Structure 1
Amino acid sequence: MLDVRRLRLLRDLSRLGTIAAVATAHTYTPSAVSQQLSALEREAGLPLLERTGRRVALTAAGRLLVQHAETVLAALEHTDAALAAARTGLTGELRIGAFPSAIRTLLTPALITLGEQHTALDLQLTELDPADVPAALLERRLDVGLTQDYDVVPLETGPGLSSVPLLDETVHLAVAAGSGIGTLREAARSGWILAGPGTLCHTATLKLCDTAGFTPRARHRVDDFGTVLALVAAGQGVALVPQLATDRMPPGVRLLPLPTRRRTRIAYRTGTAAHPAVAAFIAALPPLI
């Protein structure tokens, strides 16, 4: 019989690429991960890994087992959801990951409603960049989370996750009212207010500017859109801002709609959609498309 915990380690090795990364994700030592994978090889009766020095790669049997592991793990999630549905009332934890502007505009009302309707459900919210949500879900640090993609930055969550649409919105170029800028290309020489490197907003800005033929010159690096818009109003630079973040527009900012969209989805591990807590969260956030 194959050990489910070891199957999860093999799946994560396929996803993350190195034993060190798997060890970090599971708070194990690399040695412990290697030992567990060796034990899985003995259970399978076939070599699952090819070792070259410090590097490892999956064999054909290893890749096949990863495919079946996804099915096994999803079935276990389905089973857990069915057991949770058999209980009376919603209890336990629901760990949620979301980005700041969605927390302020979308999640706060939903969390209030869920808290009032299900007083025994422990809602735990973590502010998280959408780019980090898929890994947090697969590593079981979250139960649900908001993911995003832009036309220029497609979402690639990989196997093991499912999602439903939540929001489809316009992306704007925010400029100072008197700047005279009318197109993205005309902002090429401006100072830019960029999100932190590695965030989805930062990547999308670089991609969009690249399509316009320039690389933005970073003047400030700010992740909070309220601060971004205040800096734009003060003439401190230009920035890309999604529609969701424009609910508190300061005077002195002009928005130029761009021919690109940002999409937000509610993501969860495959097999958990029927879990009562996950289903209640999805129901509390109807699609805004």
Structure 2
Amino acid sequence: MFELRRLRLLHELALRGTIAEVAASLSYSPSTVSQQLSLLEREAGVALLEPDGRRVRLTPQGRMLAQHAARALQLDEAARAALAASPGWETVRLSAMPTAAETIVPAALTLLARRAPELRVELAELPPEESLFELWARRFDLVIAEQYPGHSRELRDGIEHDLIGEDPIRVVLPPWEHPLPLHELRERAWVLEPEGTAARRWAVQQCRAAGFEPDVRYEAADLTAHVRLVASGHAVGMLPDLIWNDEPSPLTVADLPGSPVREVFAAVRTASLADESVSLVRTALRDAFAAHRRRAP
């Protein structure tokens, strides 16, 4: 009989690629991970790992067992979710993108404090690209992320996306300027999110559709830096309405062609759908976002 914790190590190795990354993710030492994988090999009776330079890689049998391990972990999570439906609450591990962590999550926690005061929610603020991977790897139970028009997030087996709401995206200019259409900003310096992010790819495409390549002079993951660079007159940018929370924008705001919106969604493993604790958090997030949209200036 396979030990489930060792199967998880194999599953993590298939996801992360190195023993060092598996150890860091699960707070083990690399030697402990190696020892447990050696014991799993003994249980399996076949070689699961083979040398690959200074690292190791999965053998064909190792990859096959890792696929079975993913299903075993999903069944284990479903069983725990069914048990969690009985009286008593589980801890919900939540990861949220920065704009959600700073706006709708506090409001959702306020709702949960009234609806389920004994429910414990733990929050980490991470970019969607990282948090969605970690959800798949079972570090989190629930993730708040976004996707832009025409740029859907990767769909992974065993993960469900649940729309929370739509968040308009607009051009932002220094506060003393008048609104300008996008095509008139071709000569301006821009601040955008870092290369490789969905927000950066989408924003660049909007500029190209308007007939120019943006001069991205500044890049920052923290949208507060965007606001300050625009407010001081050094750049223009594109920002979602959610960043303003319930306050009026301190910047000049102009609509983009077609009035685009990004979709804010909650991602959860399908094995957790029966977990009442996770369902309560999802509902609170939807309610908090809806209340924010009603109050939006």
TM range (shorter): 0.7 to 0.9
CA contact (8 A) 1:171 1:257 kept: yes
Distance, in Å, in 2 between the alignment partners of 1:64 and 1:210 is 44
Equivalent residues in 2 for 1:107-256 (5 A)? 107-151=105-149, 153-156=151-154, 158-176=156-174, 178=177, 181-183=180-182, 186-195=184-193, 200-202=198-200, 204-205=202-203, 214=213, 216-219=215-218, 221=220, 223-225=222-224, 228-246=226-244, 247-256=246-255
Q: Residues 6-17 of structure 1: matches in 2 within 5 Å?
A: 6-17=6-17
Note closer, same or farther for the CA distance 1:121–1:110 as it changes in structure 2 (3 Å cut).
Answer: same
- Identical counterparts, % of pairs: 34
Paired position in structure 2 for 1:35: 35
Q: Which has the higher strand share?
A: 1
**Superposition TM-score, scaled by structure 1 size:** 0.82
Q: 1:19 to 1:252 in 2, by over 3 A?
A: closer
**TM, length-normalised to structure 2:** 0.81
CA contact (8 A) 2:11 2:70 kept: yes
Q: Is the 8 A contact 1:89 1:118 kept in 2?
A: no
- Deviation, structure 1 residue 213: 5.5
* Structure 1 residue 74, shift from structure 2 partner: 0.9
Code of the aligned partner of 1:256: D
Structure 1 gaps, min length 5: none
CA spacing shift, 1:275–1:131, aligned 2, 3 Å: same
Letter in 2 for 1:66: A
User: How far 1:97 sits from its partner (Å)?
Assistant: 1.8
Residues 152 and 208 of structure 1 are in contact (CA less than 8 Å); yes or no, is this contact kept in structure 2? no
Note if contact 2:94-2:121 (Cα within 8 Å) is conserved in structure 1. yes
* Amino acid paired to 2:49: L
Instruction: Give the residue type in structure 2 aligned to 1:214.
Output: E
- Using the TM superposition, give the Cα deviation of residue 252 of structure 1 relative to its aligned residue in structure 2, in angstroms: 4.6
- State the aligned residue count: 285
**Partner SS, residue 120 of structure 1:** coil
> Partner of 2:124: helix, strand, or coil?
strand
- In the aligned structure 1, how far is the partner of 2:212 from the partner of 2:37? 47
1:190–1:217 CA contact under 8 A, matched in 2? no
Which residue in the other structure is 1:57 paired with? 57
CA distance in 1, matches of 2:201, 2:173: 20
Cα distance between partner residues in 2 of 1:108 and 1:197: 29
Q: CA RMSD in A?
A: 3.0
State the AA in 2 paired with 1:12. Answer: E
Distance (Å, rounded) in 1 between the aligned partners of 2:158 and 2:215: 36
Counterpart of 2:98?
100
Q: Are 2:179 and 2:252, in contact at CA under 8 Å, matched by a contact in 1?
A: no
